[in-house]
Amino acid sequence: MRGESLFSMERLVGCRLCRRSRWRTLRSRWLAASLTCTVLVIYICFLDLLHSSMHFPVLWETSSPPRQVTVLIWYEPFGKRRRIADCHSLFNITGCQLTTNRSLYQEADAILFHHRDIIDFFDFPLIGRPTSQKWIWMNFESPAHSPWLNSLGGVFNWTMSYRVDSDIFMPYGYLFSRMLPKIILPHKRKLVAWVISNWNEDHERVQYYNQLREYVDIDIYGRYGMDLKEDNIVKTVSEYKFYLAFENSLHTDYVTEKLWRNAFKSSAVPIVMGPSRYNYELFIPRNSFIHVDDFSSPRKLAAYLKFLDKHTHLYRRHFLWKKRYDVHVTSFWDEHYCMACETVKAAGNQHRTVSDLATWFES
Ligand SMILES: *[C@@H]1O[C@H](CO)[C@@H](O)[C@H](O)[C@H]1NC(C)=O
Ligand SMILES: *[C@@H]1O[C@H](CO)[C@@H](O)[C@H](O)[C@H]1NC(C)=O
Ligand SMILES: *[C@@H]1O[C@H](CO)[C@@H](O)[C@H](O)[C@H]1NC(C)=O
């Protein structure tokens, strides 16, 4: 028997309805028959109630104190061992036990599976999957860098990713409210920066860069360019007016730390290449960034950048958002684990299976 509170609710409502129909049938001529029927119905309802109180205790437990939740981290992301977070001291979230100890499998309320570490099914817990346990698929890579998706339908209960429509939505960053009387920008002597470690001539972003640099100087940092100042991206990029926040592949909601940390934290105007402008505007104000699609060619974009370089008051308009918002950059992986735990704590007992992972994630 599965502990589904929804099912028992339906049965209780059903009972109330059948009680009403009982009075109607009493008035009919088929007294004997209906009496038998009523007795039967009451009997069934009674059994049902008994049944639900035995197997579906959740309905009557709403006022009990919040319980402790155990979340088992099946793979440490990218095979790297880390100290496990204390959700209470970090985020004021109580009642979370995070563990990587697989012996706790049977008692875990949820298991987190980091997609990129899935090698094959035989590494999954194969037997005795508790029916109320939630298997959470966790992934922050884009579909282009997420192999295997097709073979993972029907395995997981929840998804956790950068996509807004995930069961647990965890963006790479976000803006939060904060009022400031005056915007102070770091001193900027240089024009355009780009930090890149994964250089691939086939990537759209490299092809765009190759055209753009014909018209405007771009400083390249990372494995193929200059060294970062004290290994610090924000410190380095803060000296620039613009930053190329080009994603490695273009997908729905796929907006990474290239925007939140590299550009916004450095107070450099992001020039974005990723999902559509419309998609970006779900997350950030329309004037806070420049989209490559705003211009019909790299040459025209370059002309606009040079124009803003000369007109400081227009350049500064791209920072109007700073009067009302500050940037939060999500910290891997503490925040993710604690958010998962908090969601498990808050969730009911509904059952759900992610049947077509690939179709959803690649859409
Ligand atoms: C921590 O959470 C508790 C209960 O939700 C709340 O009363 C308290 O103010 C929070 N403390 C901080 C420092 O946010
Ligand atoms: C894992 O949990 C089991 C069962 O509670 C315990 O006996 C074992 O010592 C734990 N292992 C580690 C490495 O903590
Ligand atoms: C999780 O998914 C499995 C596989 O489809 C399913 O049997 C189980 O009932 C689901 N559990 C929950 C809590 O959703």
Tens-binned pLDDT, residue by residue, of the chain (363 aa): 333 333 233 333 333 333 334 334 444 444 444 544 444 444 444 444 434 433 333 344 444 556 799 999 999 999 999 999 999 999 999 999 999 999 999 999 999 999 999 987 778 887 889 999 999 999 999 999 999 899 999 999 999 999 999 999 999 999 999 998 889 999 999 999 999 999 999 999 999 999 999 999 999 999 889 999 888 999 999 999 999 999 999 999 999 999 999 999 999 999 999 999 999 999 999 999 999 999 999 999 999 999 999 999 999 999 999 999 999 999 999 999 999 999 999 998 889 999 999 999 999
Query: Which protein residue's CA is at the shortest distance from atom 10 of ligand 2?
Result: 101
User: What does the pLDDT read at residue 303?
Assistant: 98
C-beta separation of 136 from 110 below 8 A: yes
Q: For residue 86, what are the contacts with CB-CB under 8 A and spacing of at least 6?
A: none
**Of the candidates 47, 63, 58, which has an alpha carbon nearest to the alpha carbon of residue 3?**
58
Instruction: Measure the CA–CA gap between 36 and 42, rounded to whole angstroms.
Output: 10
The finding on whether 103 has its CB within 6 A of some atom of ligand 2 is yes
User: What does the pLDDT read at residue 349?
Assistant: 86
Q: Which amino acid is at 295?
A: F
Instruction: Give backbone dihedrals phi and psi of 357, rounded to 5 degrees, phi first.
Output: -60, -45
355 CA: nearest ligand 3 atom: 5
Instruction: Measure the CA–CA gap between 124 and 132, rounded to whole angstroms.
Output: 17
Query: Which protein residue's CA is at the shortest distance from atom 14 of ligand 3?
Result: 351
The finding on whether 101 has its CB within 6 A of some atom of ligand 2 is yes
CATH class, domain 190-329, is: alpha beta
C-beta separation of 318 from 183 below 8 A: no
Ligand nearest to the CA of 100: 2
Ligand nearest to the CA of 133: 3
User: What does the pLDDT read at residue 181?
Assistant: 86
**Of the candidates 124, 147, 148, which has an alpha carbon nearest to the alpha carbon of residue 136?**
124
CA–centroid distance, residue 157 to ligand 3 (Å): 6
Q: What is the CA radius of gyration of the chain?
A: 28
C-beta separation of 329 from 261 below 8 A: yes
The finding on whether 38 has its CB within 6 A of some atom of ligand 3 is no
**Token code pair at residue 242:** 């613009």
**Token code pair at residue 215:** 């018209």
Domain ranges of the chain: 6-53, 69-171+331-361, 190-329
User: What does the pLDDT read at residue 66?
Assistant: 62
**Of the candidates 47, 23, 48, which has an alpha carbon nearest to the alpha carbon of residue 37?**
23
SS (H, E, C) the chain: CCCCHHHHHHHHHHHHHHHHHHHHHHCCCCHHHHHHHHHHHHHHHHHHHHHHHHHCHHHHCCCCCCCCEEEEECCCHHHCCCCCCCHHHHHCCCCEEEECCHHHHHHCCEEEEEHHHCCCHHHCCCCCCCCCCEEEEEECCCHHHCCCHHHHCCCCCEEEECCCCCCEECCCEEEEECCCCCCCCCCCCEEEEEECCCCCCCCHHHHHHHHHCCCCCEEEECCCCECCHHHCHHHHHCCEEEEEEECCCCCCCCCCHHHHHHHHHCCCEEEEECCCHHHHCCCCCHHHCEEHHHCCCHHHHHHHHHHHHHCHHHHHHHHHHHHCEEEEECCCCHHHHHHHHHHHHHCCCCCCCCCCHHHHHHC
**Of the candidates 113, 107, 100, which has an alpha carbon nearest to the alpha carbon of residue 70?**
107
The finding on whether 129 has its CB within 6 A of some atom of ligand 3 is no
C-beta separation of 128 from 106 below 8 A: yes
Query: Which protein residue's CA is at the shortest distance from atom 7 of ligand 2?
Result: 103
Strand partners, 289: none
The finding on whether 53 has its CB within 6 A of some atom of ligand 2 is no
b/e per residue, 81-95, with b = 16+ CB within 10 A?
eeebbebeeebebeb
- Going by DSSP bridges, is the β-strand pair 325-329/173-177 parallel, antiparallel, or unpaired? antiparallel
User: What does the pLDDT read at residue 154?
Assistant: 93
Query: Which protein residue's CA is at the shortest distance from atom 13 of ligand 2?
Result: 101
Specify the pTM: 0.81
User: What does the pLDDT read at residue 348?
Assistant: 82
User: What does the pLDDT read at residue 10?
Assistant: 33
**Which residues belong to the active site?**
141
